[in-house]
């Protein structure tokens, strides 16, 4: 199959690339763009560790082909912090409330929780559990993650959207 030209904006920067039609968005981000914060766990849509924002929506980058992102705006975990490296409210809350241990799942949780809180700034614990049920963590037992998202919701302001 012939390679295809794509143009995307990733974390605020535009780029063009020629990619094979079967290249996943996750492999494109990691191998072509060097954005290795997008982690690959299961590679078939179960664990959520590869979650990125595609035109603002949280998607599993292992289930999207890079060519499907042509013309899109992408945000990876590397683009969640402020321009000067200041942690986002979600990132700071994960640090402060023990929302991570080994950190493998953390980029996916950060991206998922960021999109969730943008759309649901005042969630209940059940809402948080429901929203993050597609992200798996083998370390934390989830309690620290729930606390972190709850805390981030408390510090979420219009400035952060």
Interface with ligand FES in residues 122-151 (CB under 6 A): 137-140
Return phi, psi of residue 73, to 5°: -105, 125
82 vs 102 by CB, closer to ligand FES: 102
Q: Is the dihedral of CA 85, 132, 69, 1 positive or negative?
A: positive
Note whether 97 binds ligand FES by CB under 6 A. no
Give the Å distances, CA to CA, from 51 to 18, 118, 133, 147, 150.
23, 16, 13, 20, 20
Strand partners, 8: 15
60 vs 97 by CB, closer to ligand FES: 60
Give the per-residue contact string, 98-117, with ligand FES (x = CB under 6 A; - = no). Answer: --xxxxxxx-----------
**Closest distance to ligand FES from the beta carbon of 30 (Å):** 11
The residues that touch ligand FES, with contacts defined as CB under 6 A, are: 40-43, 45-50, 60, 62, 100-106, 137-140
């Amino acid at each position: 199959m012939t390679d295809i030209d794509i143009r995307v904006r990733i974390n605020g920067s535009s780029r063009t690339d020629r990619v094979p039609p079967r290249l996943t968005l996750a492999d494109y981000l990691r191998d072509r763009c060097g954005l290795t914060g997008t982690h690959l766990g299961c590679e078939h849509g179960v664990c959520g560790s590869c979650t990125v924002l595609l035109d603002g929506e949280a998607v599993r980058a292992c289930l999207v082909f890079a060519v499907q992102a042509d013309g899109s705006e992408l945000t990876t975990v590397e683009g969640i912090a402020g321009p000067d490296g200041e942690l986002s409210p979600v990132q700071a809350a994960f640090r402060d409330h023990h929302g991570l241990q080994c950190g493998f799942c953390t980029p996916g949780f950060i991206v998922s929780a960021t999109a969730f809180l943008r759309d649901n700034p005042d969630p209940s614990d059940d809402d948080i559990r429901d929203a993050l049920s597609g992200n798996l963590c083998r370390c934390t037992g989830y309690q620290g993650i729930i606390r972190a998202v709850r805390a981030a919701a408390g510090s979420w302001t219009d400035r952060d959207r």
